[in-house]
Structure 1
């Protein structure tokens, strides 16, 4: 996988390289997905994050097919939905068909759904999928420490990533530390807080934005990158996509980083993983 030259890459625990900045299509209207993803690819994004439950894998695949970009230059992620954890092989085949691809670069269990207690069974099927090469890497999403502990104790392959809600008010330090101790990279979804609290007005963000001549959103994305997170902000507007991409010509100081990190307050803005089934 060769990333856009502007985008740094991180190594996953199986040796695969992943672009640290990507483009997510959560809540992108399936009817609009093809042209929105086309815009993202034209801006320069090479890492696309979708999921079966988003209903827009077909649009992502159409944009990829029309782009003319070599497959090996793209990093494509999709996810196994909760009601398919006992049917993971068939669900994966369906996603691959909708994307129109021979393989995905990363396949994730979307939520642990602990009440169902089927994520270990699902993970063992993901291990089989990875062994065929149709998923270059496998990982999890929204897993807390107890879920990871159970998975590591009962299966053979350590997840390559854990994709979690992560933004300045909700950094999940325990999950992040445990994941990294075990070689699991952190992906941040909802990296800008989904507009559910006044993040951009906070002086911790506004001051470095003014100091560097950047927008508050660019500052927060830069904070993620310098923290070692893989991040994919979402936007339907091409100009905002380009703005989110323009974060590689400045660096936050150690003091600015620390001030933003100190905004942690367990401020989850979405569902708790133990409550999603």
Structure 2
């Protein structure tokens, strides 16, 4: 889900150094099947079905990085890179969803959240931001919020860019799955029923324990459950260590 549009989030985005990137903020509207936009051939059917059931009433918004040099040269391959996919509420305005998705792309490009911690040193915000329609690019609310985040170069995307994205998405997109486990681990966790072992919370803040057998939303929750989880943790780690030792032995014997 997108982060809340508040002064803390806006200040975090503004604190990033400006990069030379161009972002396209794009809303695709209502979809009948979330799994249809999972451009991930390895996605298990049961995961796709569970995600459809949980998120079918949401709206799909995305942020793409656009390689403007390739666009200028007339290239049609590897022009776009998916930065963030967000499932927004239909109850919120289109403008708010666009802004929330942009904030998510800057603060949570890989499903991580920085709202409760200092902004990462390697973070950045784009130099130019494009929107799919002129009304969105000129909307007073959007321009005001973007200015508060330090983004002043706002424009409407060229029609050829939008046509390329809509008509040739498979060839125009760089080969990175927008819904891979790395990009959106919280969707996979939600579909699999994984939740914080202490408070039951789900979402992008959920982190897997090093043993792979438990999930926690914060260090506090993990610390609180450390004693009760210790036996399962040690058992799982011992099993993993045996596997690692066996692999190392096999590698040495094969040389």
TM-score class normalised by the smaller sequence: under 0.3
By relative contact order (CA 8 Å, sep 6+), the higher-ranking structure is 2
TM normalised by structure 2 equals 0.26
Normalising by the residue count of structure 1, what TM-score does the alignment of the two structures yield? Answer: 0.24
